[in-house]
């Protein structure tokens, strides 16, 4: 036994149909309904709605079978394409590129699927052609729909289009023996939207969703007569259609435009109308629409009797998804086994993208490995070519170090040794440039005042602040006395004294110590 569940989540109710097919060929259909509180769109708590859906499915044990949901046509881009071939695989490859120029979005941002409605008859010598109905769903919208369903613990087997589900119901009624017309207009009037499916030669020709539903009429009546929404809904169901005729006119006008577009394109006029959905319960509403649109409302003779699923048409059509339930009742109808699975297209796109990312990663890794190999080869080449130059530079650096620093340093101590030399040299410079100890001017005055006769050899010089201590040697004691007198004549020297004057070990050698105070600058 094969089984599937169609789940139609509306603004005012949750509807579900469980369709079972036994091995003997007998079908079993069960209908389930859960009303929702009447709220404005901005007041609907999506988390609460997800909780209600979850409890609804658990209470009726519907989550055990594959579940099919739908997106409304107003959230999609639907196009008909004529392709010069009939190969399904080739069609799947070509359709996304054909749609890229027909939709105001990047092809990367949509999930695209095409359904081959039929192949056109060709004459000998001409190429075969196929008629394809393409749906492009924004991936963001599709992901939000699946995310909402996951919150309700629903993992749909397929995501179809609501208007195409109406076509599946019509085909089911045809398979049960109804004299369903080849050209038929199907209107499913819900609480907030009306879904249109125009059928031409047993194939869906136009799928559309209009932003008009039964709630618009309820709100208009409540505002006109100062009723509550609940009372307006109750009075609407009890009254005749003439009560809200002026507010139904926008729906009539939109449907009439769709019929005119159909007639202009096909040169054929639709003559029959079937009205389903919750809005069909409005008294004499189907007859009123048929009169306004100049269409004949189908009845039991065409297979649309009292047992036809008027309020559950979308849910039943979803349960009849051919890729979930199979195609037994559709097998003989050309182009009838139709059903989108936009979820698969989303996952297929993600899988393809994942493969592309994986391939890009592999190629990037290969490229990186090549770059690394080239880099290593380049470094090795430079090392080989510059090895001698490095040795020469090292020898030149060592020679410069010997000249500038002096001495031999152990490997690793060159910097420390050079730093020590720099510190020592800095202290000497600081001493020479000191403002308190005029070293250079004092030495200049000292040299200038030394007698020109005789020999003076300085053995040591000590300067501590303004005090200067000079240890020197000359050839006689008279020379020592002349040096002292010469320094006394210098205005910058004070407290001049000679001490420790003695005869040295060499002939004509007198060693003495001279102290004086030098004035600061």
Q: Which residues contact 307 (CB under 8 A, 6 or more apart)?
A: none
Whether 309 and 316 have beta carbons less than 8 Å apart is answered as yes
Three-state secondary structure readout of 152-206: CCCCCCEEEEHHHHHHHHHHHHHHCCCCCCCCEEEEEECCCCEEEEEEECCEEEE
Note whether 476 and 502 are same-domain residues. yes
| pTM listed for this prediction | 0.65
Report the CATH number at residue 488.
3.30.1360.100
Domain boundary among 413, 429, 445: 429
Run of H or E including 48: helix 46-59
* SS3 readout for 304-363: CCCCCCCCCHHHHHHHCCHHHHCCHHHCCCCCCCCCCCHHHHHHHHHHHHHHHHHHHHHH
Q: pLDDT for 433-458, tens place per residue?
A: 555 556 677 777 777 777 777 778 88
| Integer Cα distance of 173 and 227 in angstroms | 40
Q: Is 477 inside a domain boundary? A: yes
Percent of all residues in the chain with a pLDDT value above 70, rounded to a whole number: 86
* pLDDT tens sequence across 14-59: 999 999 887 666 678 999 999 887 655 554 578 888 999 999 999 9
Nearest Cα neighbor of 31 from 8, 55, 65, 52 is 8
pLDDT beyond 70 at 336 = no
Domain-embedded: residue 416: yes
Characterize the bridge pairing of strands 129-138 and 77-83: antiparallel
Q: Is residue 351 part of a domain?
A: no
CA–CA distance, 17 with 473 (Å, rounded to integer):
129
* Judgement on whether residues 441 and 510 belong to the same structural domain of the protein: yes
502 or 314: which leads in pLDDT: 314
Does 449 share its domain with 491? yes
Please tell me the total number of residues recorded for the chain in this structure.
521
Within 8 A by CB and 6+ apart from 286, the residues are: 273, 274, 275, 280, 297
Tell me, yes or no, whether 420 and 444 share the same domain: no
> pLDDT for 220-252, tens place per residue?
888 888 988 888 888 887 877 777 888 889 999
- Same domain (yes/no): 456, 407: no
> Do 170 and 338 form a contact (C-beta atoms < 8 A)?
no
403 and 474 in a single domain? The answer is no
pLDDT value at 283 more than 50: yes
- Residue 241 falls within a domain, yes or no? no
Residue 464 is assigned to a structural domain of this protein: yes
Q: Considering the chain, what percentage of its residues have pLDDT values greater than 90?
A: 27
Domain count, the chain: 2
Residues 419 and 378 in one domain: yes
Task: Round to whole Å and give the CA distance between 25 and 328.
Answer: 9
Residue 301 is assigned to a structural domain of this protein: no
Q: Where is the domain boundary, 399, 429, 459?
A: 429
Write the CB contacts of 158 (distance below 8 Å, at least 6 apart in sequence).
66, 68, 69, 321, 323, 324, 339, 340, 341, 343, 344
Q: What is the pLDDT of residues 118-164, one digit of tens each?
A: 766 555 666 778 889 999 999 999 999 999 999 999 999 999 999 99
3-class DSSP state for residue 443?
helix
Is residue 174 very low, low, confident or very high in pLDDT (cuts 50, 70, 90)?
Answer: confident
Instruction: Between 469 and 55, name the one with better pLDDT.
Output: 55
d(CA 393, CA 341): 74
Question: Does residue 381 lie in a domain region?
Answer: yes
Last residue of a domain, one of 404, 429, 454: 429
Cβ-count burial of 416 within 10 angstroms (0-12 exposed, 13-18 middle, 19+ buried)?
exposed
DSSP state of 12: S
Task: Report which of residues 492 and 269 the model is more confident about.
Answer: 269
For tokens 């109710």, what's the residue? 13
Q: Once rounded to an integer, what is the mean pLDDT over residues 176-194?
A: 90
Q: Which residue has the tokens 């210098």?
A: 490
**217 in a domain, yes or no?**
no
Both tokens assigned to 281? 């319960």
Pairing of strands 296-297, 272-276: parallel
Q: What is the DSSP letter of 283?
A: B
Residues 509 and 455 in one domain: yes
- Per-residue confidence (pLDDT) for residue 314, from 0 to 100: 93
Structure confidence at residue 357 (pLDDT): 64
Supply φ then ψ for residue 273, to 5 degrees.
Answer: -135, 135
Find the domain containing 512 and state its range.
436-518
- Same-domain pairing of 440 and 486: yes
């Amino acid at each position: 036994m094969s089984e599937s569940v169609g789940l139609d989540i509306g603004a005012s109710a949750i509807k579900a149909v469980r369709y079972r097919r036994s091995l003997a060929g007998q079908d079993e259909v069960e209908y389930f309904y859960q009303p929702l509180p009447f709220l404005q769109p901005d007041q609907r708590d999506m988390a609460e709605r997800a909780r209600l859906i979850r409890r609804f499915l658990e209470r009726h044990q519907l989550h055990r079978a594959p579940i099919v949901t739908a997106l409304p046509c107003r959230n999609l881009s639907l196009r008909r394409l004529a392709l010069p071939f009939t190969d399904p695989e080739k069609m799947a490859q070509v359709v996304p590129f054909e749609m890229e120029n027909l939709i105001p979005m990047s092809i990367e941002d949509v999930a695209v699927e095409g359904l081959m409605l039929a192949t056109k008859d060709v004459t000998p010598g001409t190429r075969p052609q196929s008629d394809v109905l393409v749906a492009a769903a924004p991936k963001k919208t599709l992901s939000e729909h699946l995310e909402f369903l996951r919150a309700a613990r629903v993992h749909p087997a397929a995501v179809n289009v609501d208007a195409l589900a109406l076509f599946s119901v019509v085909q089911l009624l045809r398979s049960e023996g109804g004299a369903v017309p080849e050209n038929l207009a199907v209107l499913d009037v819900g609480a907030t939207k009306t879904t249109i499916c125009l059928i031409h030669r047993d194939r869906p020709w136009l799928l559309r969703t209009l932003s008009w539903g039964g709630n618009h009429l309820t709100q208009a009546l409540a505002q006109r007569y100062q009723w509550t929404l609940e009372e307006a809904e109750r009075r609407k169901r009890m009254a005749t259609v003439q009560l809200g005729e002026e507010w139904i006119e926008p729906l009539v006008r939109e449907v009439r435009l769709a019929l005119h577009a159909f007639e202009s394109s096909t040169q054929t006029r639709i003559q029959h109308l079937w009205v389903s959905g919750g809005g069909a319960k409005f008294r004499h509403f189907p007859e009123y629409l048929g009169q306004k649109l100049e269409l004949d409302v189908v009845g039991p003779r065409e297979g649309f009797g009292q047992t036809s699923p008027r309020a559950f048409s979308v849910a039943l059509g979803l349960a009849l998804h051919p890729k979930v339930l199979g195609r037994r009742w559709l097998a003989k109808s050309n182009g009838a086994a139709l059903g989108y699975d936009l979820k698969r297209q989303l996952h297929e796109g993600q899988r393809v993208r994942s493969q592309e990312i994986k391939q890009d990663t592999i190629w990037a890794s290969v490229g990186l490995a090549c770059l690394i190999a080239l880099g290593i080869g380049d470094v090795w080449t430079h090392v080989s070519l510059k090895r001698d130059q490095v040795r020469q530079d090292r020898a030149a650096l060592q020679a410069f170090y010997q000249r500038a620093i002096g001495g031999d340093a152990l490997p690793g101590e060159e910097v420390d040794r050079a730093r020590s030399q720099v510190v020592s040299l800095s202290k000497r410079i600081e001493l020479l440039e000191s403002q308190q100890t005029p070293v250079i001017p004092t030495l200049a005055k000292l040299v200038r005042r030394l007698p020109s006769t005789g020999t003076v050899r300085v053995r040591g010089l000590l300067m501590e602040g303004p005090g200067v201590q000079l240890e020197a040697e000359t050839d006689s004691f008279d020379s020592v006395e002349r040096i002292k007198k010469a320094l006394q004549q210098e205005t910058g020297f004070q407290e001049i004294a000679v001490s420790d004057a003695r005869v040295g070990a060499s002939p004509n050698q007198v060693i003495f110590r001279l102290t004086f105070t030098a004035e600061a600058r």
